[in-house]
Structure 1
């Protein structure tokens, strides 16, 4: 039976689904069918149920539980696996005879595979448009973060329609990809955060602590594989003088133990190791915490939405707009400067200056769907 969907959405990771589910919900609301392709990079079953989006129409790789560990490592096997998905995506898209748009999100290995697999390079007679959601972010450094910066470059090169997240991102695209259909939209994560926070309130989610507390997430490849960088991060975290909750990834715990740093963390009575939370609960904690310490780009965006001070454990960031506020600090892994900034942020007299979110306001998802309806 021929599938008549005019839109294909390709997703591999939880972060991609989190930022794309508002689009999927809006398509469903407007009764617009779409074909959901899952590469298998992460297990998405629980999130699909949580956000009330349909199960994937196609899963391209091994069972997600088995492939997640493979994809989480940057090595020859994971890169080979991504290349395999290029051709699996191409094969899957050929089943869709009425296709008008192929949408993919962000900067993961799945993003690269989707951009290449659906491109004119491999499909010279294609009639559909390639659409990149969350386009134009650039750190200007190939390995900070890696492989995300390279994935963004690939997606920019092979996409026909690029939804830029900000004015800066739009300018980046004009500079690097030239004359393409660039639409300055904003970031759909704004809608994701709003919807998730409302879900958390409805579920009567409780704060981690009734008093002021800090929230820590560290998972970036360039930090976990470098003992010096990870040691500095632990030193900065250990200096905190308020209850601190470290949402621990398996890979982070493993590397902390490998480098002999885990015991230093757990010996600190102010630091509590907690498992990763599901997204709606996590958003609720971000809204209610006093300080975020992280190395992820999405947390930068969430910090902006809620005006929560953020210490970024990186040397470069693609979300440079966020640094124009007075409550986000790119630490460069400098211990002394980071400790000083923490004291500034936790001073009762400190107030985040109100800003207009450079990534847009609630409701921008509808603009994406309007383009996909054309």
Structure 2
């Protein structure tokens, strides 16, 4: 069997890493000797992963939607993802440009490689473009993380999710709410397979490595040049610790969505809240997205952010660094879907800076750690104060157990066998 899996942007990388590892495990098992297989089964392996005793030929295609080294290369290296077999180098552009250019380039790859399956993950433009190209050539498509819905058609990602799920032959869902979304849309039951959240595979595989990182080093190694940078470095060297930053005594912020950063009347009150209220009581660590930095500068707000003594502005950081910060943060303020999921499992109180989410299983009403606050500053302040009193309450939805990637590969193998 030949599989092409696709990544395009940073959110995809954490999802594809365990999938590639699961394929490698299947290939290793399929060439094991009879004695090794017997020993494996004696140790509790049911042999489900080696149903066909065939190896899987796998190619990784990177569309190049995230082309900056800090946004892409570091993730490949830290998560042990092999170099992409093919890099389409699409780069930036409008949604239409990215989708169109990806379809043109990926179609050539499909004609040349003739895969049995194209596997797409998440909801970025590459997910949509590559699923369309595959189906036009009658190639089967598997969507990992299928069925997520925000109900907000103004979100480009929602369009990507809807189209990809409509075209896919095999829909691998992260939670039972996603199953119900697909059923309501009329998706046949035999296309839906509940496998759990593949992002949590990556979290569980990297917990121990992240735990060993030092918060002071994360800040020092990634700190943007600012007026108080030298004071910070000097104090850190003298004391061996971050001034005022302690375990469980800091906030983490990430923002990148246009709805939060593209209008001054929205971004400025959020910045004022962070600098005047949050930073007045605890350090604020903010790995800043290039888009957010650009808008702060264009609105004349950059100097205010840089001059706040208790606000640490960082370059975009790697997966392990962000996981480490999340593991002992007092609170997370974010518009990232993936961080909502991680906060749920880690128990970090999370203010989701959006009016809706395609991951409702992470919300408090479903047992999670997240609250939707949108970008209304009064609601943000109210929920912030409430969250500080709540503390950490880890929750683990069904099948968020670190074994999702194995189930994904198993479902692809079993589907292949049923149609031969």
Q: Return the TM-score normalized by structure 2.
A: 0.78
Aligned position for 2:304 = 264
Aligned position for 1:309 = 349
Distance 1:354 1:41, change over 3 A: closer
Report whether the alignment pairs 1:318 with 2:365: no
Deviation of 1:304 after TM superposition, in Å, equals 0.6
Q: Distance in 2 between matches of 1:150 and 1:15?
A: 17
Q: Is the 8 A contact 1:196 1:279 kept in 2?
A: no
Gaps of 5+ in 2: 28-55, 217-244, 415-420
2:207 to 197, 206, 209: 197
Q: Distance in 2 between matches of 1:54 and 1:337?
A: 43
Distance 1:266 1:358, change over 3 A: farther
Report whether the alignment pairs 1:155 with 2:164: yes
Distance 1:167 1:29, change over 3 A: same
Distance 1:279 1:353, change over 3 A: closer
Q: Return the TM-score normalized by structure 1.
A: 0.87
RMSD of aligned residue pairs (Cα, Å) = 1.9
Q: Distance in 2 between matches of 1:45 and 1:341?
A: 36
Q: Distance in 2 between matches of 1:267 and 1:47?
A: 30
Deviation of 1:296 after TM superposition, in Å, equals 1.1
Deviation of 1:199 after TM superposition, in Å, equals 2.6
Distance 1:88 1:177, change over 3 A: farther
Q: Distance in 1 between matches of 2:77 and 2:395?
A: 34
Runs of 4+ displaced beyond 3 Å: 43-46, 351-356
Q: Highest Rg: 1 or 2?
A: 2
Q: Distance in 1 between matches of 2:402 and 2:11?
A: 18
Secondary structure at the aligned position of 1:236 is classed as helix
Distance 1:20 1:282, change over 3 A: same
Aligned position for 2:26 = 30
Q: Is the 8 A contact 1:327 1:345 kept in 2?
A: no
Report whether the alignment pairs 1:182 with 2:222: no
Secondary structure at the aligned position of 1:94 is classed as helix
Q: Is the 8 A contact 2:361 2:368 kept in 1?
A: no
Report whether the alignment pairs 1:109 with 2:145: no
Q: Distance in 2 between matches of 1:216 and 1:353?
A: 19
Aligned position for 2:214 = 206
Secondary structure at the aligned position of 2:252 is classed as strand
2:105 to 59, 82, 88: 88
Distance 1:332 1:50, change over 3 A: closer
Q: Distance in 2 between matches of 1:351 and 1:289?
A: 10
Report whether the alignment pairs 1:48 with 2:48: no
Q: Is the 8 A contact 2:348 2:394 kept in 1?
A: no
Gaps of 5+ in 1: none
Aligned position for 1:39 = 63
Deviation of 1:111 after TM superposition, in Å, equals 0.6
Q: Is the 8 A contact 1:156 1:177 kept in 2?
A: no
Paired residue total: 347
1:109-140 per-residue CA deviation (whole Å, 9 max, x = no partner) reads 10110111111xx22xx3x4210011111110
Q: Distance in 1 between matches of 2:293 and 2:325?
A: 21
Report whether the alignment pairs 1:60 with 2:88: yes
Deviation of 1:354 after TM superposition, in Å, equals 4.9
Q: Distance in 2 between matches of 1:280 and 1:336?
A: 33
Distance 1:156 1:346, change over 3 A: same
Deviation of 1:352 after TM superposition, in Å, equals 4.2
Q: Distance in 2 between matches of 1:311 and 1:27?
A: 36
1:307-360 per-residue CA deviation (whole Å, 9 max, x = no partner) reads 00011111111111211236321112222232122222223xx34445332562
Q: Distance in 2 between matches of 1:23 and 1:155?
A: 19
